[in-house]
């Protein structure tokens, strides 16, 4: 065997060994990297007229308003990325293949002192391909900024795959859904 052939064989063996150690979900994920949502994913657009949280709830910093948009009603609202894409979500642990996100919800009159944990439920379904439904932490939690009288609800969600996802929150009879593109 020539020296060039031996180097090629060693390189090929190293490449095969590296690929064998690469988790399958990583290989699939890299193929799904898309900068913008495809036209087949009907991401939620900013509402017209814009939703403005009721006073005295915070409406966000100027940076927040540039990158996110409020959707919903005083009964239940949240913020979503203005372009409809969640990029680069982490895995909860290195061995967990699901993508983790924390979502924040508000409801006028929610009182964390009386209802803790909050009774918000979240579900999610992939729209562009078969996938298991998203799952959530065991329960939502209360959160607040410097105004403890106007708390928000935070919930951890686990998205099984990249793609087009419809997320639905249900709280005290109010339901709010939106569609996001989940990408690397």
Share of the chain above pLDDT 70, in %: 78
Assign residue 150 the CATH number of its domain: 2.60.40
Instruction: Provide the H-helix boundaries in the chain.
Output: 3-21, 24-31, 62-67
pLDDT at residue 25 tops 50: no
**Two structure tokens written together for 66:** 């540039």
Token look-up 């990325």 returns 81
Q: Assess contact for 182 and 136: CB atoms under 8 A.
A: no
11 shares its domain with 47:
no
Q: β-strand 121-126 against 85-87: which pairing, if any?
A: unpaired
Report how far residue 37's alpha carbon sits from residue 86's, in angstroms, rounded to the nearest whole number: 10
24 shares its domain with 42:
no
Please report, for residues 46, 74, 113, 120, 179, the alpha-carbon distance to residue 176 in angstroms, rounded to integers and kept in the order given: 14, 11, 24, 11, 11
Report how far residue 76's alpha carbon sits from residue 184's, in angstroms, rounded to the nearest whole number: 29
12 shares its domain with 88:
no
81 shares its domain with 127:
yes
41 shares its domain with 125:
yes
Split into its structural domains, the chain has a count of: 2
Q: Residue 36's pLDDT is what?
A: 82
pTM of the predicted model as reported, rounded to 2 decimal places: 0.78
6 shares its domain with 47:
no
| Domain span at 68 | 37-183
Looking at the DSSP bridge assignments, the partners of residue 124 are 167
25 shares its domain with 95:
no
| Mean pLDDT (whole number) for 2-11 | 37
Q: Assess contact for 167 and 84: CB atoms under 8 A.
A: no
Please report, for residues 10, 113, 167, the alpha-carbon distance to residue 170 in angstroms, rounded to integers and kept in the order given: 57, 20, 10
Q: Assess contact for 163 and 182: CB atoms under 8 A.
A: yes
83 shares its domain with 168:
yes
88 shares its domain with 159:
yes
pLDDT band at 177; cut points 50, 70, 90: very high
96 shares its domain with 165:
yes
24 shares its domain with 49:
no
63 shares its domain with 142:
yes
pLDDT band at 121; cut points 50, 70, 90: very high
| Mean pLDDT (whole number) for 63-73 | 87
Q: Assess contact for 103 and 121: CB atoms under 8 A.
A: no
Report how far residue 151's alpha carbon sits from residue 112's, in angstroms, rounded to the nearest whole number: 7
């Amino acid at each position: 065997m020539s020296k060039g052939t031996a180097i090629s064989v060693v390189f090929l063996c190293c490449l095969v060994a590296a690929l064998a150690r690469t988790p399958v979900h990583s290989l699939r994920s890299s193929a799904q990297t898309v900068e913008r949502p495809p036209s087949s994913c009907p991401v939620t657009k900013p509402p017209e007229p814009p939703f403005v949280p009721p006073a005295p709830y915070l409406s966000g910093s100027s940076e927040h308003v540039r990158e996110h948009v409020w959707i919903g009603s005083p009964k239940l609202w949240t913020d979503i990325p203005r372009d409809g894409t969640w990029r680069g979500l982490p895995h909860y642990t290195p061995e967990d293949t699901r993508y983790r996100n924390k979502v924040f919800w508000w409801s006028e009159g929610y009182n964390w002192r009386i209802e803790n944990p909050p009774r918000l439920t979240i579900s999610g379904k992939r729209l562009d391909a078969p996938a298991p439904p998203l799952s959530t932490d065991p329960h939502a939690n209360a959160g607040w900024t410097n105004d403890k009288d106007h708390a928000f609800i935070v919930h951890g969600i686990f998205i099984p795959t990249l793609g087009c996802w419809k997320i639905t929150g249900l709280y005290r009879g109010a339901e709010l859904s939106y569609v996001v593109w989940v990408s690397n």
